[in-house]
Structure 1
Amino acid sequence: MERNQSQRMIGESSALSDVFDQVSQVAPLNRPILVVGERGTGKELIAERLHYLSSRWEGPFLKVNCGAISEALLDADLFGYEPGAFTGANKVNKGRFERADEGTLFLDELGNMSAQLQEKLLRVIEYGEFERLGGQKTLKVNVRIIAATNEHLPALAATGKFREDLLDRLAFDVITLPPLRSREDDIMRLAEHFAVSMSTELGWQVFPGFTAEVQEQLRKHPFYGNVRELKNIVERSVYRWGNAELEIAELVIDPFDSLWSPKGKHLQSSTNKAATIDSTIGFSEQVARYEVQLLKQALDQNDQHQGKASEALGLTYHQFRSQLRKHGIIGKDKL
């Protein structure tokens, strides 16, 4: 991989600046590093930054998702195999550890690694030694490990699901990435970056901008998918808007949101059944009761998760919270 900034992390918030300072400080040290954060926060980009700021920057930078393939395939992928190791293995195959020699190996979703592979990984970290699958010769490599997870590894270790000795070796230092909702100053900077890129892809001369209402909606959205979710929302909204002359005035947050989707039909039929006319009270009161019913139903169907409930109703997080306050479902002290 070439040393470039095409996949740089964008942002100037204090929370992200603190992360960059920590990365710059620990990158030159030849030690394993653990990168922790929610999905979509940029763990792989931090791993790249650690590699290219280290003395290994001219060496290989390889990466593997430990949760994407089975244990047997991951074993062969990491450590390689000899002829006859399994059916179809008819030649020597070098694993990622061999190919990453004198460089860096990024292990994503480390919490999904099996106990057997954790033991082999511990040996590589401690001694730089391993054997290929089906082999008997001990090989030595000089590889820096950067691991990433969105799991709480100390909790997994406490329940026996992750080796405590491996956690000790990996956690020379832990870089914890802030979620996007804690980087409010970066949201619009990122949104405009993604919007400009999509405008260019669409062949527009310029990006027409966002309306003030859309900007406010972006700032208030919880972004549980973080930067990845923001990128999808912005790019989807720009291309669906389809007008290079007018400011983007509508966000397409949920691409599944449709009256014709299975979820939409279910919600529509279930709410229709619950909506009955009560001639003993006025129209406004009946509407208010129906709104309360919708709000509570959305919360119940999303495990009381207000962000997901707001999306289910097609509301922004801010609008949903306002409705909860309006109907007394939550009080001002909980906002």
Structure 2
Amino acid sequence: MEDKRLVLIADDDQSIRSLLTSFLESEGFGTIEAKSGRDVIPAITKTRPDVVIMDLRMPGMGGLDVLDQMKRMKMDDIPVLTMTAYGTSNVAIEAIQRGAYDYVTKPFELDDLLMTVKRTIDHRDLARRVKAVDETIRDPLDKIIGNTSAMQQVYKNIGRVARTDATVLVTGESGTGKELVAGAIHFNSNRRSGPYVKVPCASLTETLLESELFGHEAGSFTSAVKTRKGRFEMADKGTIFLDEIGEMSLNTQKKLLRVLQEREFERVGSNTPIKIDTRVIAATNRSLAHEVSEGRFREDLYYRLNVIAIDLPPLRDRMDDVPILVEHFLQIYRSDAPDNTPRISEEALEELMKYNWPGNVRELENSVHRAIILARDEVITPAHIVFTGAPGKSNGDASDGVADKVAAGMSLKDIVMETERKAIEAALHLANGNRSQAAKQLGIYRRMLYAKMNEYGIAES
């Protein structure tokens, strides 16, 4: 190791502490010992070790109590390996649930323990880099923000999979940040110097998507005037991100399955196979398992994609992250405030904390941006908070007269179309006619926005 990493060994058994200290120091680690659970927190505070190896069963303060105290004191960024003689018991499982990174079962092989320690430190280092990504690699606007346990699990999962070539399926509701996770995986992988190619599956027709993915030969169809590389070919030696893969047709799914199985494909209009070395990351806001049961998604493709799954929690399940997200967005959009120092009142923040955020982080970002603009040079108050579902309300009541429309005999299709049209008009108004910004606020691609504007006869501002 280039730097001597520090391991805190906590066990009431002197022989175990001595054994581990001697072994780890012979492997180039620094060590510090704690002979009881009560000694662990002071030792962490003083030395900030890279990893803690801790027995769960110690007199006085046990390992589970230490894990709880570490969480309360914001020390849960330090990975803990627990030791237990009951590897399959509830206490080991509970330790993982309370934040332990992993556990080892006594008696253990020293070489196995060494590998676990090294792997733990590697994953911790990578997870930290994902959370605070190097500004030379990632746009500061693209940071993943969150300190809750749910987000800590996301960081841990990213750290575990980034350096592998495994296919990853990122799931979560719209607006939770699936694209950010995909980018974080790529830019922290061994393929980071290679291309990162995004494919918006939802905004492309079946024919166009197939051509985009696999390319085409000149003359293969009417508008194919020249040979064109597909996205898979462009992503060779890098990563391809298939966004909203649940929208892909069964026919295209079949061709994608072959790529995942054989790592080769043919361009449209060609019989010559093209070999690729491309990592695949896919994302969806649908339950693909349900889509499989309904016959809309291939079961064999689902299992090929679901090698590693990272599920992003909805914002309503991590409300403790709202204040730091708000602060983050205040800084991002500070240029829209006349004095470049937007501020929010406690009352306004309380309103944001009451809302259930069906549009997740993207909706929160839009709400904060809108409030900065409405407040001008004033402190943001509840009067400046407008929710997409129901303006001025924080309880998520987004009926907007729907019951009256149903009672009046209005069809579901007409209600949806009217609501969609109003949402597009509102987004265009808030964006001062900027279609790119309006599409971003609505969480759709520009091409889809243009199509909807044409469908509803919405004139360009």
What's the TM-score, normalizing by structure 1?
0.74
Measure how far apart 1:191 and its partner are: 1.1
2:176 match: secondary structure = coil
Matched, 1:56 2:218: no
For 2:353, which of 216, 219, 222 is the aligned residue?
219
CA contact (8 A) 1:210 1:249 kept: no
The alpha carbon displacement at 1:158 in A equals 1.6
Write the deviation string for residues 115-172 of structure 1: whole angstroms up to 9, x where unpaired: 1111111111111110001111110001100000011101111222111111111111
Q: Give the aligned partner of residue 386 of structure 2.
A: 252
Match of 1:278 in 2: none
- Work out the CA distance in 1 between the residues paired with 2:233 and 2:159: 27
Q: Does 1:235 align with 2:363?
A: no
1:202 aligns to what? 337
Quote how far apart the aligned CAs of 1:3 are.
Answer: 1.9
The separation in 1 between residues aligned to 2:155 and 2:294, in whole angstroms, is: 32
**2-side partners of 1:55 and 1:8: how far apart?**
20
Match for residue 99 of structure 1?
234
State the match for 2:29 in structure 1.
Answer: none
Aligned ranges for residues 124-163 of structure 1 at < 5 Å? 124-163=259-298
The answer to whether the 8 A contact 2:372-2:380 is kept is: no
SS in 2 for 1:146: strand
2:156 aligned with 1:21: yes
**What pairs with 1:1-335 in structure 2 (closer than 5 Å)?**
3-6=137-140, 7-207=142-342, 209-244=343-378, 246-250=379-383, 251-254=385-388, 257=391, 267=401
Alpha-carbon distance in structure 2 between the residues aligned to 1:107 and 1:172 = 15
CA deviations on 1:294-318 (whole Å, 9 max, x unpaired) are xxxxxxx99xxxxxxxxxxxxxxxx
The number of residues matched between the two structures is: 264
In the TM superposition, residue 243 of structure 1 has moved relative to its aligned partner by 2.3
SS of aligned partner of 2:301: helix
Partners of 1:219 and 1:257 lie apart in 2 by 16
Provide the secondary structure at the position in 2 that maps to 1:4. Answer: coil
CA contact (8 A) 2:242 2:280 kept: yes
In 2, the alpha carbon distance for the partners of 1:166 and 1:125 equals: 8
Letter in 1 for 2:381: I
Q: Aligned equivalents of 1:33 and 1:186: distance in 2?
A: 25
Task: Judge conservation of contact 2:371–2:380 (CA < 8 Å) in 1.
Answer: no
Amino acid in the other structure paired with 2:138 = N
Pairwise CA distance, 1:241: 1.4
Aligned match of 2:27: none
1:202, distance to aligned residue in structure 2 (A): 3.3
Q: Percent identity?
A: 41
Pair 255,243 (structure 1): closer, same or farther in 2 beyond 3 Å: farther
The alpha carbon displacement at 1:255 in A equals: 8.5
Q: Retained in 2: the 8 A contact 1:80–1:133?
A: yes
Task: Specify the SS of the correspondent of 1:67.
Answer: helix
Structure 1 outlier segments of 4+, above 4 Å: 255-258
- Partners of 1:65 and 1:9 in 2: CA distance: 21
Conservation of the 8 A alpha-carbon contact between 1:77 and 1:95: yes
> Secondary structure, in 3 states, of the residue corresponding to 2:303?
helix
**Aligned match of 1:312:** none
Listed as ranges, the gaps of 5+ residues in structure 2 are 1-135, 393-397, 406-414, 417-461
CA change 1:267–1:159 in 2 (3 A) is: closer
Q: Structure 1 222/257 Cα, relative in aligned 2: closer, same or farther at 3 Å? A: closer
Aligned residue in 2 for 1:291: none
Change (3 A) 1:220 1:71: same
Using a 3 Å threshold, how does the CA distance of structure 1 residues 205 and 161 change in structure 2: closer, same or farther?
closer
Contact 2:336-2:373 within 8 A present in 1 as well:
no
Higher relative contact order (CA 8 A, sep 6+): 1
Q: Which moved more, 1:233-242 or 1:198-207?
A: 198-207
Name the aligned partner's letter for residue 265 of structure 2: F
> Aligned equivalents of 2:168 and 2:177: distance in 1?
15
CA-atom RMSD, angstroms?
2.4
Deviation string, structure 1 residues 83-112 (Cα, Å, up to 9, x no partner)? 111112121100100000000000011111
Contact 1:238 1:248 survives alignment (8 Å): no
Which consecutive unaligned segments of at least 5 residues does structure 1 have? 259-263, 272-300, 303-335
